[in-house]
Structure 1
């Protein structure tokens, strides 16, 4: 083991996923193909009530990455929206005003609270939006989003800091708030096989309105198209406004979910 890894272990600092897990992210193509093959099964998920859903892409991704998610949610009966801000180049404080404006547009046009589904960095934005505008947000679902613990434990941290100008240590107060309890129901979907983000950074504190859902063997890049993750998103969005109950881990993809006692803070 390298001296750097020794120091990280001694200090309790989290490390980014291994090179092997990072290389294994190529399996995301198989996850996408699986969702296409299983589309008839996925359409058996609970139907939506027509409320608006805003999808937020991950770092370096654009609305194209969330297109399969929006298409699926639209077919289930939701009013799915893109973020319309081009490629996500990062910058929490820089993006905050534009995100609030986009959320306000959708809320005003629909007259209803908006659910937020954020993938990776998009999930960090979603949690921040819920803190800034809880009166416009119905619930928050994140997919492989590093918002808790040591948020630098990703394989994208250095590139994010170079491109956005943000450094994790410069926003300690904001990070603490984003990692804490939200004023709206929240679900964090993650995988221990994530090759980009250390899965421990994706765990929220479970409560009567917040939970973690672990999807076995899902990749980071594939979480937004993984059939078990898509089913979980649809199930969580189908809850009536103002209500929350634990994810049942049942249905056609039951075998893909870790038991709830495993998906807790560790």
Structure 2
């Protein structure tokens, strides 16, 4: 499947201003491991076919989800490398969430990422779940350096009450997630660069409504995929969507 065909029939959801719903049913959460395992088996078959070479060496930084590290996103990173991208792990190891003041923590993360992505001047940022918040916020700091942002199952338009893992964040970080009131409003605003949110109604960890924009933004859109939350790092449809979106944006900029 070519990158252009991926975008001809996207299962896009127009932002309708619907508030985030309640957390996913526990039945969905309970089946996450089994569904993620099935998606891994499907990914093995998908990998037998080499992806189209569309990356042209463009640098992509990947941010893992809560309580995971770069190994979880290794299938996605490898898929992008096979497609010709320079795909990089965020380099911070296990993701336990921001420590201390969120802005100071993000400043330190930005410095670290900037060092790692050298000599690239322009990058794209891809984040899964909690990692998507980092991608969006770093893009707000680097509007002239970020080509685009892609989030995967990231509940930027919600709160810990729209997930089944709020307790895990508190266990790892020692406090309630810092996304209340003004901070929640800020996190819901997309960066000023092209931003795509991939969400799934089959997500058993976060409410899919919380992964969509509450209103229309000029450079933001939401695309539905079929995947479990745990399997989004290797589900074939997610792999193809991410590489297709990255290639499409890169081609448009090159032609400009």
Name the TM-score class by shorter chain. 0.7 to 0.9
* Alignment partner, residue 255 of structure 1: none
* Alignment partner, residue 107 of structure 2: 97
Instruction: Tell me, yes or no, if structure 1 residue 49 matches structure 2 residue 56.
Output: yes
* Alignment partner, residue 17 of structure 1: 24
* Alignment partner, residue 85 of structure 1: 92
117-126 vs 154-163, greater mean Cα deviation: 154-163
Greater RCO structure (CA 8 Å; 6+ sep): 2
Instruction: Tell me, yes or no, if structure 1 residue 167 matches structure 2 residue 173.
Output: no
How far does residue 162 in structure 1 lie from its aligned partner after superposition? 3.3
* Alignment partner, residue 138 of structure 2: 129
Which whole-Å CA distance do the structure 2 matches of 1:115 and 1:179 have between them? 19
* Alignment partner, residue 219 of structure 2: 209
**Contact 1:193 1:219 (C-alpha < 8 Å) held by counterparts:** yes
How far does residue 163 in structure 1 lie from its aligned partner after superposition? 2.0
For residue 91 of structure 1, give the secondary structure of its aligned residue in structure 2. coil
Change (3 A) 1:13 1:142: closer
What are the superposed Cα offsets for residues 17-52 of structure 1, whole Å, 9 maximum, x if unpaired?
Answer: 1110001102101111111101244614x6112111
For residue 196 of structure 1, give the secondary structure of its aligned residue in structure 2. coil
**Contact 1:115 1:139 (C-alpha < 8 Å) held by counterparts:** yes
Change (3 A) 1:234 1:169: closer
Unaligned runs of 5+ in 1: 1-11, 245-266
How far does residue 170 in structure 1 lie from its aligned partner after superposition? 5.9
Which whole-Å CA distance do the structure 2 matches of 1:196 and 1:95 have between them? 25
**Contact 2:75 2:234 (C-alpha < 8 Å) held by counterparts:** yes
Change (3 A) 1:52 1:170: closer
* Alignment partner, residue 221 of structure 1: 230
Which whole-Å CA distance do the structure 2 matches of 1:59 and 1:42 have between them? 30
Q: Which of 31, 36, 41 is 1:33 aligned to?
A: 41
How far does residue 151 in structure 1 lie from its aligned partner after superposition? 4.6
Change (3 A) 1:242 1:101: farther
Change (3 A) 1:136 1:167: farther
For residue 89 of structure 1, give the secondary structure of its aligned residue in structure 2. coil
**Contact 1:104 1:136 (C-alpha < 8 Å) held by counterparts:** no
Query: What is the number of equivalent residue pairs in this alignment?
Result: 230
Task: Report matched runs for 1:137-148 at 5 Å.
Answer: 137-148=146-157
Which whole-Å CA distance do the structure 1 matches of 2:27 and 2:190 have between them? 33
* Alignment partner, residue 12 of structure 2: none
Query: What's the Cα RMSD here?
Result: 2.2
Which whole-Å CA distance do the structure 2 matches of 1:132 and 1:123 have between them? 15
**Contact 1:190 1:202 (C-alpha < 8 Å) held by counterparts:** yes
TM-score when normalising by structure 1: 0.79
TM-score when normalising by structure 2: 0.82
Which whole-Å CA distance do the structure 2 matches of 1:232 and 1:206 have between them? 21
**Contact 1:103 1:136 (C-alpha < 8 Å) held by counterparts:** no
* Alignment partner, residue 83 of structure 2: 76
